[in-house]
Amino acid sequence: MHHRPDFDATPYIQRRQRLAASLPPGSVALIPTARECIRNRDSHFPYRHDSYFYYLSGFTEPDALLVLHADGQSLLLCQPKDLEREIWDGYRLGPEAAISTLGVDEADSIEQLDARLPALLENKSAIYYPFATHAGLAAQVERWLERVRARARYGAQVPTAQHDLCELLDEMRLVKDAHEIATIGRACQISAQAHIRAMQCSARLLAAGADAREYHLEAELLHSFRHHGAQGPAYSSIVAAGSNACVLHYRASDAPLRPGELVLIDAGCELDGYASDITRTFPANGRFSGAQRALYELVLASEEAAIAAARPGARFTDPHDAAVRVLTQGMLDLGLLDAQRVGSLDDAIEQRAYFQFYMHRTGHWMGMDVHDCGSYNEPSERGQLHERRDALSGELIRERPSRILRPGMVLTIEPGIYVRPAPGVPEAFHHIGIRIEDDALITAEGNTLLTRDAPVQPDEIEALMRA
């Protein structure tokens, strides 16, 4: 990737400088990338770099490690140039070109890792590295420290503290910079086009009386992602026809698309290391039935309430609470919940009566990882604890104050409703699953939805599918 003439190292250099400035004097940070994974015999899973490593380097090759000192000096250990291996596995940047291309101060072969690391850790006060994200890394650090300790009689000081680098990097990654916002925005546009293409394909196949299955729509998504330059899906695409939509993590399979049933698609591409995440629910043949539209309009109203609640100064939990209020009131109005049994709207929310039909949160952070890093608790209020008993499970839950939303954060907003057959549930709604999901960038004024090129209004969806 890095012989790309358009690669700009500036954002990565700036992030390394910011991270170094937050490290205590005399400390050092180690950031490895992901390993290649064997799928079976001679084949590997498609390689995906480590997000933390990429965030600081922009480098996508396997077998690499970044060393960052508190004074800002950086060393990249990467695969050496090897013309024979490159015939088989493709171009390698190599240490020499890494300095000019990536803007690191020094580079060396990854084969020098065990030789160089003990000397780099000697006389440092503390080591920072990502905890619990790389199997075997902690043991590797211990081995290097053993070698430092062996030199104690020659005056070598051993670092006395190890810290989780995730905490510092998660805070940085939670607020997106301009380079990230632009990339996420492009990923969202590509994904929105893919959803439009899938809706139209569904209508076209059914109108022609052709065999139409979930995998046909998945194929449209994948084609659209790649056609517009994304590297692939950011997560396994959910294409759920009919009652499959009531399975939250359903994977696109071979179920038929049937007129009169809904199709739920939750799919987004990954572009240059950044995710997008969109869900749309539409009638397979392009026409909502009465019961489908009633539930759809309820979910859409709950999404609009959640969107209105996503603004700077609000809490991360505010959009969820807003969506739950609208959904629960709708469940009472439509007879999914019996007011005689669950009481008032506030009672129903308090008792989590809605959980039968809505059992997930209304959103999550999004960035390089589709479920991105970043604490959901407000760091400035970490000491405050609130204990409560959960109405359904009876377990004691210890809650800390929810994160305050700030400009530059990106989160998904994705309420839904999933109606499985059960006593007292009106039959017209059985097997209907609906989710509507958009990606929101928090701005100074409120938020910007990055995914609305894919329509959500039922009339617009019907018009698009007629076209």
The answer to whether residue 228 is catalytic is no
Secondary structure of 105-139 as H, E, C letters: CEEEEHHHHHHHHHHHHCCCCEEEECCCCCCCHHH
DSSP letters spanning 74-97: EEEEEPPP-HHHHHHH----HHHH
Q: Indicate which residue of 173, 364, 372, 462 is catalytic.
A: 364
The answer to whether residue 386 is catalytic is no
Q: Indicate which residue of 414, 438, 439, 462 is catalytic.
A: 414
Q: Indicate which residue of 12, 274, 296, 418 is catalytic.
A: 418
Q: Indicate which residue of 435, 438, 439, 462 is catalytic.
A: 435
Q: Indicate which residue of 50, 122, 218, 277 is catalytic.
A: 277
The answer to whether residue 418 is catalytic is yes
Q: List own/partner pairs for 458-461 with CB under 8 A and 24 or more apart.
A: 458/288, 458/293, 458/296, 458/297, 458/300, 461/199, 461/280, 461/282, 461/283, 461/286, 461/288
Q: Are 238 and 250 in contact (CB under 8 A)?
A: yes
Q: Are 465 and 200 in contact (CB under 8 A)?
A: yes
Q: Indicate which residue of 371, 382, 388, 406 is catalytic.
A: 371
Question: Which residues are bridge partners to 252 per DSSP?
Answer: none
Q: Are 405 and 442 in contact (CB under 8 A)?
A: yes
Q: Indicate which residue of 4, 39, 41, 249 is catalytic.
A: 249
Q: Are 20 and 69 in contact (CB under 8 A)?
A: yes
Residue 57 CB coordination number (10 Å):
30
Q: Are 245 and 263 in contact (CB under 8 A)?
A: yes
Q: Indicate which residue of 6, 39, 41, 42 is catalytic.
A: 42
Q: Indicate which residue of 61, 214, 220, 266 is catalytic.
A: 266
Q: Indicate which residue of 179, 228, 360, 361 is catalytic.
A: 360
Q: What is the total residue count of the chain? A: 467
The answer to whether residue 277 is catalytic is yes
The answer to whether residue 364 is catalytic is yes
The answer to whether residue 360 is catalytic is yes
The answer to whether residue 163 is catalytic is no
Q: CA quadruple 342, 344, 348, 351: dihedral positive or negative?
A: negative
Catalytic residues: 42, 249, 266, 277, 360, 364, 371, 414, 418, 435, 437
